[in-house]
Amino acid sequence: MRYPPIDNKLFKSNRSEFSELLRNNSIAIFNSNDLMPKNADQLMTFKQNSDLFYLSGIDQEETILVIKKIEGKITEFLFIRETSDTLKIWEGEKLSKDKGKNISGINNIFWNTSFEKRLPELMSGVEYIYLNSNEHPRANVVVETRDARFQKWLTLKYPNYKYKKSAKLLHKIRPVKKSTEIDLIQSACNITKKGVQRVFKCLRPGIYEYEIQAEIIHEFLLNKATGFAYDPIIASGNNACILHYGSNNEICKDGDVVLMDFGAEYANYSSDLTRSFPVNGKFTKRQKDVYNSVLNVMKDATNMLSPGVLLSDYEKAVGKLMEKELVNLGLLSLSDIKNFNTLPAYKKYYMHGTSHHLGLDVHDVSEPETPIKEGMILTCEPGIYIPEEGLGIRLENDILIKEGRNIDLMADIPIEVDEIEHFLNI
């Protein structure tokens, strides 16, 4: 691990909240993610299932977490991979039972090879079985997961039970972050700031987009990040008008603006930032006008993110802010706004949403129709994209929701035009 041990009080508290939502006489079973194959004999870098990590803190493959609730009494079990002589030679030692206990705060630790043998005893007195699955509304699951395979196996072995989805319970509790989680996300944001500072030093006409990416990841790894929290977008000129641009292989040209959407991952927690810099260190008047329009929307939208607000209502209100800015920029007319057909007129230049939850997942899980609550962390990321001008501007910070006044976790990362021009030219 690159990060110091996380106090297991966090995982104990998370399990306690989850267990309160379980029905009596139930069992919940969570599996770690698979080790995904590449070609030949290689594997992709392991990434833990975020729900299992949230409840246990275990960042190791082939892990199973079991939470059992019988007549209100909670019992927890953790099954982890045992180190063999072969594993010691090729991969190094895995977690010991004592380490598993210290990380998770779970007392009942077993080797995963004993899971099937112990399962009948675990099922004793159970009426409901909660299984994990990816229920994110934007999920596109094309590869069968370990959880999905386990569900097939278990429902054949134990067909006469009432099956429930753990995700529905976790979506209630994961969006509100505890103080330890907030600190970890702040650490990720602080590392992201160092990546921005690195860009200030390297950006110049003639640099390739991938060279900027290389500078950022260099800084991330030096500061104990796992790496990028998601595939970075380094999009110069017209590439910035491609919302999910990922090639990052073009030259940044004099006179263009480069849109950079990236964030560090630290201790499995994500950060998410976007900045748009002039490649030559100086915005043109038009670029500055568009930039300031996006910044105006961002500032107002950040203030609108408050407890009790529905995100659907918030997005509509942000759309109204964007309409005014697009009219001021000469991109829309009042007639365009009045006479739109299917989509609001502003969607021609601003196609995506403004905010999403942030946490263990970049697009963190939530209940879509639940009002914003104190302790949630949401991004704020408006943008304007003008392909005919070869210009795309997006700005994004991560916002901790508080009663009275939100806390911008990226408040000390330069965002004003004069700040950006200053740091690009020192």
Q: Within this chain, do residues 391 and 262 fall inside the same structural domain, yes or no? A: yes
Quick: pLDDT tens for 120-132: 999 999 999 999 9
> Are both 76 and 48 inside the same structural domain?
yes
Note the pLDDT tens digit of each residue in 254-311: 999 999 999 999 999 999 999 999 999 999 999 999 999 999 999 999 999 999 999 9
Same domain, 308 and 418: yes
Strands (E), 37-171: 64-70, 73-80, 108-111, 128-131, 162-165
| Residue 254, number of CB atoms within 10 A of its CB | 12
Sort 108 into a burial class: Cβ within 10 Å, 0-12 / 13-18 / 19+. Answer: middle
Using the 3D structure, point to which of 103, 138, 171 is the last residue of a domain: 171
Question: In this structure, are 383 and 235 located in the same domain?
Answer: yes
Please report whether residue 4 resides in a domain.
no
Rounded to whole angstroms, the Cα distance separating 405 from 411 reads 13
Residue 76 lies in a domain: yes
Do 139 and 235 sit in the same domain of this protein? no
Token pair in block for residue 228:
């990028």
Length of the chain (residues): 426
Domain boundary among 171, 202, 231: 171
- Backbone dihedral region of 141: left (phi > 0), alpha (psi from -120 to 50 degrees) or beta? beta
Using CA atoms, how far apart are residues 420 and 278, in angstroms rounded to an integer?
9
Is 2 within a domain?
Answer: no
Q: Domain of residue 47: give its range.
A: 9-171
Does residue 284 belong to any structural domain of this protein?
Answer: yes
Q: Do residue 289 and residue 384 come from a single domain?
A: yes
**Entry pTM:** 0.96
How is residue 410 written in tokens? 């990226």
Residues 215-258: pLDDT tens digits? 999 999 999 999 999 999 999 999 999 999 999 999 999 999 99
Domain identity same for 19 and 60: yes
CATH code for the domain of 148? 3.40.350.10
Residues 65, 103 within the same domain: yes
SS3 100: helix
Q: Which H or E run includes 288?
A: helix 285-304
Examine residue 162 and state whether it is found in any structural domain, yes or no: yes
Domain boundary among 122, 140, 171: 171
Number of domains composing the chain: 2
Instruction: For the chain, give the longest Cα–Cα distance.
Output: 74
- For residue 97, what are the contacts with CB-CB under 8 A and spacing of at least 6? 80, 109, 110
Are 240 and 276 spatial neighbours (Cβ–Cβ below 8 Å)? yes
pLDDT tens for each residue of the chain, 426 residues long: 789 999 999 999 999 999 999 999 999 999 999 999 899 989 999 999 999 999 999 999 999 999 999 999 999 999 999 999 899 999 899 999 999 999 999 999 999 999 999 999 999 999 999 999 998 888 888 889 999 999 999 999 999 999 999 999 999 999 999 999 999 999 999 999 999 999 999 999 999 999 999 999 999 999 999 999 999 999 999 999 999 999 999 999 999 999 999 999 999 999 999 999 999 999 999 999 999 999 999 999 999 999 999 999 999 999 999 999 999 999 999 998 988 778 899 999 999 999 999 999 999 999 988 999 999 999 999 999 999 999 999 999 999 999 989 999 999 999 999 999 999 999
Of 133, 183, 165, 180, the C-alpha closest to 13 is: 180
Task: Classify strands 391-394 and 397-400 as parallel, antiparallel or unpaired.
Answer: unpaired
Query: Residue 40's Cα: distance from chain center in Å?
Result: 30
My answer on whether 248 and 108 are in the same domain is no
Token pair 């963190």 is found at: 364
Written as one letter, the residue type at 363 is H
For residue 178, the one-letter residue type is K
Q: Say whether both 148 and 269 belong to one domain.
A: no
CATH code, domain with 227: 3.90.230.10
Looking at the structure, do residues 61 and 153 belong to the same domain, yes or no? Answer: yes
Same domain, 117 and 192: no
